[in-house]
Structure 1
Amino acid sequence: MFNSARRYIALLALVLFSNCIRASTNDSILITQLLQKLDDLQIKENGIFPKGAFPSFRMYTPNKSRYKADVNPFFTGLVAFTLQHLMPDLSPSQQLQAKRIIERAKSVYPKFKNRKYPERNTYNFWPTDTVQIYPNGGWLNLFNKPQALADDLDDTVILLLAQNIDDSIANKVHDFMQLYRNGLKKKANNIVEKYQGIEAYSTWFGDKMPIELDVCVQANALYFVQYYHMPWSSTDSATLKLITNVIRDKEYINGANHLSPQYVRPSVVLYHFSRLMALKPIPELESLKASLVEETEKLLKDSDLFMDQVLLSTSLLRWGVQPPNLAPHKTKGLATLIED
């Protein structure tokens, strides 16, 4: 999951790499360099991070120069999942680079799989082999067991997509997802009142966890459903209703932190919507594409943050719109941008 307190170096390299593929067939050297950057970032031996992982870090608001290693599978799964999707567009040598990264990542996922009910095939944001909250969090780790997170929908679908699981597992997980929807046992209160009655997917697979509606998590859930060509459930339809209402009302522009507490920023919300729409057309979303493009172009024009510019440009490319070139005075060398 995205969070404003996390660095995502590998993700920036990955998104830049995706844009190179879409932007021009003459970017082969740059694509190879970005793949090599991803390879360099991937952990090669067990240590603070498990072998095969892509490192990510928490930044604390009171001291923004201090980072803590945040041991999670999300970015690793996201890199592997995205590389698999882009594989047909790579040259044979680049495919070998990507396959090495994907293969190394496989050893990471078991560390985060549900231990008590492995047959569920659900995953956690933090380790389950040795339960932790805020890994490397000092005194916070005194509360590892009583405050442990439940497994979540977002990590589960991303890691299952990264592993390219077979249809039978996907269908069982989809059945399990139906047990964690808004209104089944309790209602969400993290979202504006007019959406609180929509029986969409909740983020957490835990009876003690609050019901949380997050449109980015939900977009990933629908991507999972679409990818595996599963019949839509009533919860899938309700989730789509929530997303379409949010787009139609343009709530994601100023209310992204409430609509997507795990991802927070409008640019990231739009990135998720565009990824879902690029997989397979959904008529209800296609009818709103013009509005999405218009708002994305406005945000891109006003953005000074390079990561936002990349995410918004990627969204436009997925919708078949060529984004403007980033202003040279706002950019640095590629290596510096990836590390910033």
Structure 2
Amino acid sequence: MSLLDALVKHLSSLQSRGDAYYPAGLFPSQRLKTELGYRREDSNIFFTAITVFALQEIRARLSPESQQCVDTITTQAAATYPLYQNKDGLATYNFYQTQPSRHFPNGILMHRTRHFKLPDDVDDTVMIYLITPRTPEENQWLKAKLRAHANTIKGWAETGPQTFRKKKIYSTWFGENMPIDFDTSTLSNVMLWVFRQQLPLDGFDEDVLEFIDYSIRSGEYLKNPLELSAYYATTPLIMYHVGRLLAEVPVLPDCRERLIQDMKAYQCRTFMDQIMLATTLLRLGETVPELIPADWSLKTLIEKSRNHYFSIAPLLNYYPQTRWLASWKLSHINWECPAHSLALVAEYLALQSGV
């Protein structure tokens, strides 16, 4: 069995069979702040959706046995999506279960108050749309929903680059009370969905693409990633998301070239950052050094992929009085999902193999 096949098989074993923390079909993840000794099991839909997406993206490159494994993972995961659907039955999705709300589960404080209850969000919604079949009417409905909650329509952004606070850019949230904010990684996922569904581009999409272009070509994402992508907030994560869009969509050619140059020059601090950048460069048609020696075992990959934080919550970013402290890393909650980290490694192995 190849290392890639062993990795996919192991991913299947990580999917919950149903327990006190996770519904059957979900991939376990944790929210944590290691500096404070804080670690909680976190039954969200986000990491399951993006893990399924990553596996679907490489399915054609896998062996028949691994393809069947991916299909089984996909089917089992799909059974959990209704748990995270809008509480009123609309076709948007929440990070946490909605009926009843199970926000920030297994904690001491935040789940006890509605103050920390999250509205449905754009990232979870478009990722689930990307991995489940939708009718043209459903896609058009979501596009209208995005516009209705965008900047200049729902309200005005008070964060992000000043130049874009009067642009028609989709917000991260669908809720009534959450502030409008932009996240270039999330917006890259939105535009990936827009282009895959061949939805007509409008003024909102044009402003979003301008924001993504600015994020990279200004170099701001290298200096201040939190300002441009508050929920991912590292340069490698922004590179990964923007690169995934630009590898598939023939837009922003100057942005693409600048991103490639930056990735080739970037000094990664972790193995997982190396994996994400190498995968992105491969998507963009570049060659990369071999990162996984032939003698590495599955156990080695599991060890190397640990402690990879793919998403954050910048808690102080939501309130004007504390926004100046938002970059204080001790105020960020981090999320880790062992299965998704290994899915990222599987992406690299599949693309590097050239199959």
TM range, normalised to the smaller chain?
0.7 to 0.9
**Separation (CA, whole Å) in 2 of partners of 1:54 and 1:241:** 35
CA deviation digits over 1:35-70, x for unaligned, max 9? 012101110124301110011101125424x42011
1:327 CA displacement: 9.0
Q: Give the equivalent residue in structure 1 for 2:305.
A: 338
1:176 CA displacement: 1.1
State TM-score, norm by structure 1.
Answer: 0.84
**Separation (CA, whole Å) in 2 of partners of 1:40 and 1:207:** 39
Q: How does 1:263-302 map to 2 (within 5 A)?
A: 263-282=232-251, 285-299=252-266, 302=267
Partner of residue 139 from structure 1, selected from 92, 98, 109: 109
State TM-score, norm by structure 2.
Answer: 0.81
The CA RMSD measured in Å over matched residues stands at 1.8
Kindly, what percent of the aligned residue pairs are identical?
31
Q: Give the equivalent residue in structure 2 for 1:22.
A: none
Q: Give the equivalent residue in structure 1 for 2:43.
A: 71
Q: Give the equivalent residue in structure 1 for 2:91.
A: 121
CA deviation digits over 1:243-272, x for unaligned, max 9? 112222111111111110100111000100
User: Is this contact kept in 2: 1:227–1:279, CA < 8 A?
Assistant: no
CA deviation digits over 1:105-125, x for unaligned, max 9? 011111110021x2x300001
Q: How does 1:153-192 map to 2 (within 5 A)?
A: 153-192=122-161
Length, aligned pairs only: 303
Between 1 and 2, higher relative CO (CA 8 Å, sep ≥ 6) is seen in 2
**Separation (CA, whole Å) in 2 of partners of 1:80 and 1:335:** 18
1:31 CA displacement: 1.5
- Name the aligned partner's letter for residue 305 of structure 1: T
Partner of residue 67 from structure 2, selected from 74, 95, 101: 95
Q: Give the equivalent residue in structure 2 for 1:42.
A: 15
1:198 CA displacement: 2.0
Q: Give the equivalent residue in structure 2 for 1:56.
A: 29
Q: Give the equivalent residue in structure 1 for 2:170.
A: 201
- Name the aligned partner's letter for residue 208 of structure 1: N
1:196 CA displacement: 1.8
CA deviation digits over 1:156-205, x for unaligned, max 9? 00012122323321121111111111122322122121222222110000
Taking structure 1 as reference, are residues 199 and 306 closer, same or farther at Cα in structure 2, changes over 3 Å only? same
SS of residue in 1 equivalent to 2:244: helix
Taking structure 1 as reference, are residues 316 and 142 closer, same or farther at Cα in structure 2, changes over 3 Å only? same
**Separation (CA, whole Å) in 2 of partners of 1:309 and 1:189:** 33
- Name the aligned partner's letter for residue 135 of structure 1: P
Partner of residue 119 from structure 2, selected from 150, 154, 171: 150
Q: Which runs of 5+ in 2 are unaligned?
A: 308-355
- Name the aligned partner's letter for residue 222 of structure 1: M
User: Is this contact kept in 1: 2:110–2:116, CA < 8 A?
Assistant: no
Higher mean C-alpha deviation, range 163-172 or range 107-116 = 163-172
User: Is this contact kept in 1: 2:9–2:66, CA < 8 A?
Assistant: no
User: Is this contact kept in 2: 1:157–1:221, CA < 8 A?
Assistant: yes
Q: Which runs of 5+ in 1 are unaligned?
A: 1-27
